[in-house]
Amino acid sequence: MLDTPNSSPAIKGMYIGGNWVPAARTFDDLNPSDNTLYARIPDGSVDCARKAIAAAKAAFPAWAALRFHERARLLLKAADVWEARKDDFIAAAMHEGGGWYGKGVFEAGYVAEVFRSSAALCYQNIGEVLPSEHGKFSTATRWPLGVVSVISPWNMPGILTARGFTAALAMGNTIVLKPSEDTPYAGGLFFAEILEEAGFPPGVFNVITCSRDSVAAVGDELVESRDVKAVSFTGSTAVGRHIAAKCGAHLKKACVELGGKDSLIILEDADLEHAAKAANFGSFMHQGQVCMSTEKILVQQDIYDVFMAKFLARAAKLRTGHTNDKDNVIGPLVNNRQAKRVQALIEDAVAKGAHIELGGKCWDNFVEPTVLTNVDASMNIWNEETFGPVAIVVPFRTEQEAIALNNDTEYGLTAAIMTADEARALRMAEHLETGMVHINCQNINDEPHVPFGGVKASGVGRYGGRWSIDAFTELRWITLDRGGRHFPPAF
């Protein structure tokens, strides 16, 4: 059953080497809807990180050698355990992460499919036979890397954590997971409970938690340790740059999925009812705290007024408030720092001439759905990822202008186009500087088997399907000479 609003999970400790391990101290994990105590979480140290890495390293040889169908069986079992406990996750996503009930239901269902799609990777082709001019048997094969550090975010603590480690496990790697300090249970310790119940061997999957005060030192250890062979990170571009730079210095693989400043382009022949509904979902789902959130809505001039009327009418119906009330589709931002940052972006824009068409009110950790117009590049919100329930609406006249507006950002995660002319949209998609383009839908799209990721400052690498195999394995060329290679007589 779904937890009651006041319930908190029983925190057993960090999960290292198959054991629940306490820390010398704890930190408070707060419910962002009302800032009440949700749980007291172990505040792990660099030494805890080292112990988790050592446990993962010790478990790696046996896990990598385990038959592929046994790894798949364990991942499928984890999916079943997850589904049996999905209500526990939904409660955590609401009361620890500040998410709407419907968002928690969606996320809980999606995570089970991430486990299952990763189990399917165990049966994928992991090599190929190459031609050889010398008649050799020549192969290119993929092998697990070893210990993979996974640093996951707070905004989608189920989906983005699962995506960060399940494919790596399927490929025979072992994991040290550090969830965000804002969702250490939903994005970390809850997963440890699931994998322990599913029967994963000790040390294969480890979770360490730490406070904001400890995160820099612990995070650096997870990246810089010689025993860590790759890093999987989802989060802000600023932190991603730091991690990628350290991975580069230590010559280790990194898959980093970062921020976005994503545009929805609405052409004059679009279905405006559908476009208004899609724009509301893309802009305000989970308070806009999604890397794919629609942050700029680019509307062709001829339909601008009609679209705005439909869009604002829908947005005005969205209720903001405590997640205990399932009718509150807009919950809090994850903490007060985030709320103040979004408020500052709104205030800066208004001070420089932007118009508030809807919303604009902020209190505690809440920001109501806000729509801004007359926004230009002099305003911070034009360039910075908002990560809040704020949409900018910008008119344009030509396709070329829309493309230029979309590309006017350091980010390049996802774009979307609304039009009745599919050929026109496909032609435009070729010129949009993003890793993903969605036609006749909004920006928030993902499936477990697709190549998810961005370009420019939105990340390096791809998650999903066979692209995750590339991310979490190393390529090895192996040849077998059958007497066809001849050497010069001098040798």
Q: Which residues are catalytic?
A: 257, 291
Query: What is the DSSP secondary structure assignment for residue 3, as one 8-state letter?
Result: P
Q: Is the dihedral of CA 36, 41, 45, 49 positive or negative?
A: negative
Query: What is the DSSP secondary structure assignment for residue 320, as one 8-state letter?
Result: B
Angle between helical axes of 272-284 and 304-315 (0-180°, round to 10): 50
434 — phi, psi (to 5°)? Answer: -140, 160
3-state secondary structure of 156: coil
The Cα–Cα gap between 148 and 383 comes to 33
The Cα–Cα gap between 44 and 39 comes to 15
The Cα–Cα gap between 50 and 206 comes to 11
The single residue listed with the structure tokens 């740059």 is 241
Structure-block tokens of residue 50:
């080292």
Q: Is the dihedral of CA 243, 244, 248, 252 positive or negative?
A: positive
Strands 36-42 and 411-412 come out as unpaired
Structure-block tokens of residue 151:
């640093």
The Cα–Cα gap between 170 and 192 comes to 16
Vertex 432: Cα angle to 430 and 434 (nearest 5) = 110
Neighbours of 405 (CB within 10 A): 16
Amino acid type, 353: G
Strands 390-396 and 294-300 come out as parallel
The single residue listed with the structure tokens 């992460």 is 97
Angle between helical axes of 159-170 and 101-121 (0-180°, round to 10): 10
Bridge partners of residue 42, in order along the sequence: 26
> Which of 444, 439, 451, 435 is closest to 117 using CA atoms?
451
Contact 232, 437 (CB under 8 A): no
Query: What is the DSSP secondary structure assignment for residue 303, as one 8-state letter?
Result: G
The Cα–Cα gap between 339 and 354 comes to 19
Neighbours of 84 (CB within 10 A): 12
DSSP string for residues in 159-224: HHHHHHHHHHHHTT-EEEEE--TTSTIIIIIHHHHHHHHHTPPTTSEEE----TTTHHHHHHHHHH
The single residue listed with the structure tokens 């010069």 is 488
